[in-house]
Amino acid sequence: MWRKMLDQLIRRTIGAVLTLGVVIAATFFATRLSGNAADYLLPPGMDAQSKQAMIVQMGLDQPVLVQFWHYLQGLVTGDMGISLYERRPVADIYAERLPNTVMLFIYALVIAIVVGLPLGLVAALNRGKAIGSAIMGIAFIGYATPNFVLAIIMILVFSFNLHWLPSSGSMTPLHFLMPAIVLAAPMLAEIVRFTRNAMLDVLGQDYLRTARAKGLPEHVVVGKHALRNASIPIVTILGLQVAGMVARVVIVESVFATKGIGDLVVYAAIGRDYPVLQFGVVLIALIVVISSLVVDYAYALLDPRVKVAAS
C-alpha cells in the first residue's frame, strides 16, 4: 500500500518538474516576443556603435535559441544572470526581496486558516440561525471587496485616523500586519465558505449517525469524525488559494510598498528587465507547483482511499 502511494507521488513529482520546464520555456520566449530590451533600456540619443556594443555585452545579439541554452545552463548552475537595469546579479536582488514576500505569505496563510476554519465550523453548526447567516454575509463581503479597496480603507482607518499601524514599508513585523490581512481576506472568505459546505455535507453522512449511536459526545462527533472528513476538500481549496494569493501579492505589495518579489516582477515587466522577470515568473511558478504538490501529499495522508484510487 505504501508502495502504491510512493509510486503515485513520484509520478506527481515528475509531472510537477515537467510543468515547471514548460513555464520556463514559455516565459523565456514570451518575453522575447514583447520587443527588444535594448530599445527600451538604452538612452534614445545613443550612437549606433555604442548601442551595438551594449547589445553584445548583454548577449542580446545571439540567436534566441542560443540565449535560451545559456539561460538554461545558468538556471542549472545557479547563475540567474545580471539585471539589465540594476546591473547586479538577479540572485542577489531576489535574496533581498524574497524573505519579505515569504513572511507576508506565512502571515496571510496563518490568519486565513486560524480565523477561517473556526468561523466556517460555527457557520455550519448554526445553519439557518442568525450567527450562521452573519458569518456567511461577512465572508461574502470579504470575498467581493477588491483588494486595493480594502487596502486603502484599512490604511485610512488604522494608519491615518487611529495611528495604530504603519501604512507602508517592511521594516518591522508590524508593517506586515495590514498587507497580510488584505492578502488573507479573500482566502479567508473562501475557507469559511468551503469549511461550512464541507461540514454540512459531512454532517449528513451515515457514519456520523454511527458515531452518535456509539454514545460519543458531540465535540468528538464533530471535532474528530466530521472534521477529519471535511478537511479533505478544505485542503484542496487551500492549494488553489495559494495560487490566487500569488496573483494578489503583486497588488498588495505595490499598495503597501512592501519590498517583495511581487512589486519587483511588476517593475521588471514594465522595464523589460528579462533576467529579473524570467526568474520572477519561474519562482512564482515554483511556489504554485510546490503548493499543489503539498496538497497532493496532504491528500494522500488525510484520505486513505486516495492510495487505492491511484491503482
Partner 1 sequence: MVQNLLSIENLSISFGRGDKARRVVEDLSFSIAPGECVAVVGESGSGKSVTAFSVLGLTGFNGGRIETGAINFTRRNGQVVDLAKADEKTLRAIRGDEIAMVFQEPMTALNPVFTVGEQISEVLRQHRGMDRQAADAKALELITRVRITDPARRFKQYPHELSGGMRQRVVIAMALACSPRLLIADEPTTALDVTIQAQVLDLMRELSREDGMALLFITHDMGVVAEMADRVVVMRKGVRVEEQAVGPLFAAPNHVYTRRLLDAVPRLGAMAGSTGPAPFGTDPAACQGKQPSSEALLEVKNLSTWFPIHKGVLKRHVGDVRAVDDVSFTIGRGETLSLVGESGSGKSTTGRSILRLANPHAGQVLLEGRDVLKLDQQAMRAVRRDMQIVFQDPYAALDPRLDAFEQIVEPLVIHNIDKGSALRDRAIELVRRVGLEDEHLERYPHEFSGGQRQRLCIARAISLSPKLIIADESVSALDVSIQAQVVNLLMELQQELGLSYLFISHDMGVVERISHRVAVMQHGKIVEIGSRAQIFEAPGQDYTRQLIAAVPVADPSRRVAPKLPAFA
Choose which of 102, 210, 223, 290 interacts with partner 1 (CB under 8 A). Answer: 210
Restricted to residues 13-32, the positions that interact with partner 1 (CB under 8 A) are: 14
CB of residue 222 to partner 1, shortest distance in Å: 12
Nearer to partner 1, 17 or 66 (CB): 17
With binding defined as CB under 8 A, does residue 209 bind partner 1?
Answer: yes
Nearer to partner 1, 88 or 214 (CB): 214
Dihedral of the CA atoms 45, 48, 54, 60 (nearest 10)? 110
Choose which of 217, 247, 270, 290 interacts with partner 1 (CB under 8 A). Answer: 217
Nearer to partner 1, 14 or 174 (CB): 14
If you write DSSP's letter for every residue of the chain in order, what string do you get?
-HHHHHHHHHHHHHHHHHHHHHHHHHHHHHHHHT--HHHHHS-TT--HHHHHHHHHHHTTTS-HHHHHHHHHHHHHHT---B-TTT-SBHHHHHHHHHHHHHHHHHHHHHHHHHHHHHHHHHHHHTTTSHHHHHHHHHHHHHHHS-HHHHHHHHIIIIIIIS--S-SS--SSHHHHHHHHHHHHHHHHHHHHHHHHHHHHHHHTSHHHHHHHHTT--HHHIIIIIIHHHHHHHHHHHHHHHHHHHHHHHHHHHHHHT--SHHHHHHHHHHTT-HHHHHHHHHHHHHHHHHHHHHHHHHHHHH-HHHHHHT-
Residue length, the chain?
311
With binding defined as CB under 8 A, does residue 128 bind partner 1?
Answer: no
With binding defined as CB under 8 A, does residue 2 bind partner 1?
Answer: no
CB of residue 292 to partner 1, shortest distance in Å: 19
How many chain residues touch partner 1 (CB under 8 A)?
28
CB of residue 193 to partner 1, shortest distance in Å: 22
Dihedral of the CA atoms 102, 108, 113, 119 (nearest 10)? 180
Choose which of 225, 250, 262, 288 interacts with partner 1 (CB under 8 A). Answer: 225
Choose which of 187, 211, 250, 276 interacts with partner 1 (CB under 8 A). Answer: 211
With binding defined as CB under 8 A, does residue 10 bind partner 1?
Answer: yes
With binding defined as CB under 8 A, does residue 229 bind partner 1?
Answer: yes
With binding defined as CB under 8 A, does residue 129 bind partner 1?
Answer: no
Nearer to partner 1, 8 or 83 (CB): 8
Nearer to partner 1, 169 or 217 (CB): 217
With binding defined as CB under 8 A, does residue 88 bind partner 1?
Answer: no
With binding defined as CB under 8 A, does residue 216 bind partner 1?
Answer: yes
With binding defined as CB under 8 A, does residue 215 bind partner 1?
Answer: yes
Choose which of 32, 70, 127, 212 interacts with partner 1 (CB under 8 A). Answer: 212
Query: By C-alpha distance, which of 97, 67, 101 is closest to 275?
Result: 67
Q: What backbone torsions phi and psi does residue 217 show, to the nearest 5 degrees?
A: -65, 155
With binding defined as CB under 8 A, does residue 205 bind partner 1?
Answer: yes
Is residue 179 within 8 Å of 258, Cβ to Cβ? yes
Restricted to residues 174-193, the positions that interact with partner 1 (CB under 8 A) are: none
Q: Which residues are at the interface with partner 1 (CB under 8 A)?
A: 4, 7, 10-11, 14, 205-207, 209-217, 220, 225, 228-229, 232, 302-305, 308, 311
